Structure 1
Amino acid sequence: MRHYKHLDAITALFVSVLLISNVASSKILDLGPFTFDGGTILFPLSYIFGDILTEVYGYSRSRRVIWMGFMATLVMAAVFMFVGALPPAADWPHQEAYDAILGLTPRIVLASLAAYFCGEFVNSYVLAKLKVKTEGRFLWMRTIGSTLFGQVVDTVVFVAVAFTGVLPLELVGTLIFSNFVFKTLVEIAFTPATYAIVGFLKRSENEDYYDRHTDFNPFRVGA
């Protein structure tokens, strides 16, 4: 495999954004007309990183990074749940606070992992296909278009799995709509930055990958 100067850094940032946003999602926010969890403020950046990875390095390398993020999230959730289940020290009065912030339920973990897996791979697949179809033109259309598909899948899967039967259907619908609109607006707002980063990486790495003969099976971990 080729050695890339910046791929490791982008991978680290991608996984960091994913883990931080999962922790921040323990708080529900009302921001203007939108109602969403705190992780939504940061989580859209993972899709921007996904766009950059696929656009510059191709679907196969993006797939490896998506799997790294999936495994890191799984380990984080398992550690939080295991530590929360251990008996607290007699003079440590913060067990309820720990459970409220980090005490993830299996249902939330399942929803988060399923949504991440489906949404990220849909985003990467759509962008890779559009790049070949447009012969590398209209980057803005590819990044925003792939995000629309990926975020719809991500948001619907997460909210449906996590909250159906727990919250009123009206609130479930509000969460889906608010999350989708906000995440998409973040993607649009970051389009100039995406152009700048993609241009820099293509020049620096001397790479502009086209997935013309790629195996898009998401379960094939190797590049």
Structure 2
Amino acid sequence: MQDTPILTESANAVSGRHFRYYDFVMAAFVAVLLLSNVIGAAKPAVLSIGGEQWVFGAGILFFPLGYVIGDVLTEVYGFARARRVIWAGFAGLVFMAFMSWVVVALPPAPGWEGQAAYEAVFGQVWRIVAASIIAFWAGEFVNSYVMARMKIWTAGKHLWTRTIGSTIVGQGVDSLIFYPLAFWGAWTNEQVFIVMITNWLLKVGWEVVLTPLTYIVVGWLKHKEGVDIFDENTDFSPFKTKV
């Protein structure tokens, strides 16, 4: 089957249109978001460079993929459809936190010895959980907004400026919210600042490294969907549901 010719469209012109691969991209976004929080967030890992050891949260290896997919969503499908996916991810995080709390709180059956391990992995401090959910919500919406605005400013050219620029701002908001909310008072002010800046730089660095992959995925999806959407006259309120 041949690709559909790419047509430049405003977001309002394609409102309500069905896209073949949108649901798959949404599923990938939510899956990466939940799995990086469940599997990676609970484990601190260490990396040795030049004799120095750097401790980092293992989830950082995969969590930035969510921002890459978020960039793809906004670039290919527009802000409104990215907004829908962000809300789906937010709902997924809230349910995951609630389910973890219920499962950990249930009394274990006699003879089962896995309760301590369950608590270690899934019994996260609610302060950290709340900080993570709030930071994700704010950071993703800022990321998508900057991406959509920069696409208009650059007339759709220089994709790398949008992916990296939106990540710098979006991840900056994410980090500025998460680390003070989660660790202020539990860590020293210096530790909060250092970890916040280090993780922000690592996430932005990941975005730079993954930029060639973003180009490939964006190009492929635009050809398959047959549109290049610009968010002209878009309502950027995060609380709208219309696509």
**TM-score normalised by the shorter chain: which range applies?**
over 0.9
Structure 2 Cα separation of the partners of residues 81 and 134 of structure 1: 46
Q: Contact conserved, 1:35 with 1:179, CA < 8 A, in 2?
A: no
Structure 2 Cα separation of the partners of residues 99 and 222 of structure 1: 40
Greater mean deviation of Cα atoms: 20-29 or 166-175: 166-175
Tell me which amino acid in the other structure corresponds to 1:28: P
Decide which of 223, 228, 237 is 1:208's aligned counterpart.
Answer: 228
Structure 2 Cα separation of the partners of residues 173 and 59 of structure 1: 31
Structure 2 Cα separation of the partners of residues 36 and 177 of structure 1: 12
Which residue of structure 2 aligns with residue 70 of structure 1?
90
Deviations for 1:128-167, whole angstroms, at most 9, x for unmatched residues? 0000111101100010000000011111211111111111
Q: Contact conserved, 1:119 with 1:154, CA < 8 A, in 2?
A: yes
Structure 2 Cα separation of the partners of residues 61 and 34 of structure 1: 38
- Report 1 or 2 for greater relative contact order, CA contacts < 8 Å, sequence distance ≥ 6: 2
Which residue of structure 2 aligns with residue 42 of structure 1?
62
Greater mean deviation of Cα atoms: 171-180 or 65-74: 171-180
Decide which of 120, 128, 142 is 2:162's aligned counterpart.
Answer: 142
Distance 1:73 1:170, change over 3 A: same
- State how many pairs are aligned: 223
Kindly state the Cα deviation for residue 29 of structure 1 after the two structures are TM-superposed: 2.4
Decide which of 65, 69, 85 is 2:105's aligned counterpart.
Answer: 85
Deviations for 1:171-213, whole angstroms, at most 9, x for unmatched residues? 2122112211111111000111111111111110012110011
Which residue of structure 2 aligns with residue 26 of structure 1?
42
Kindly state the Cα deviation for residue 105 of structure 1 after the two structures are TM-superposed: 2.1
Point out where structure 1 has 5 or more consecutive residues left out of the alignment: none
Which residue of structure 1 aligns with residue 25 of structure 2?
10
Superposition RMSD in Å: 1.1
Whether 2:74 is the aligned partner of 1:54: answer yes
Which residue of structure 1 aligns with residue 208 of structure 2?
188
Structure 2 Cα separation of the partners of residues 30 and 69 of structure 1: 29
Identity %: 47
| TM-score, reference length from structure 1 | 0.97
Which residue of structure 1 aligns with residue 142 of structure 2?
122
Structure 2 Cα separation of the partners of residues 34 and 78 of structure 1: 32
Secondary structure in 2 aligned to 1:30?
A: strand
Secondary structure in 1 aligned to 2:56?
A: strand
Structure 2 Cα separation of the partners of residues 222 and 157 of structure 1: 28
Which residue of structure 1 aligns with residue 10 of structure 2?
none
Q: Contact conserved, 1:124 with 1:146, CA < 8 A, in 2?
A: yes
Structure 2 Cα separation of the partners of residues 112 and 106 of structure 1: 10
More strand by share: 2
Mark the structure with the bigger radius of gyration.
Answer: 2
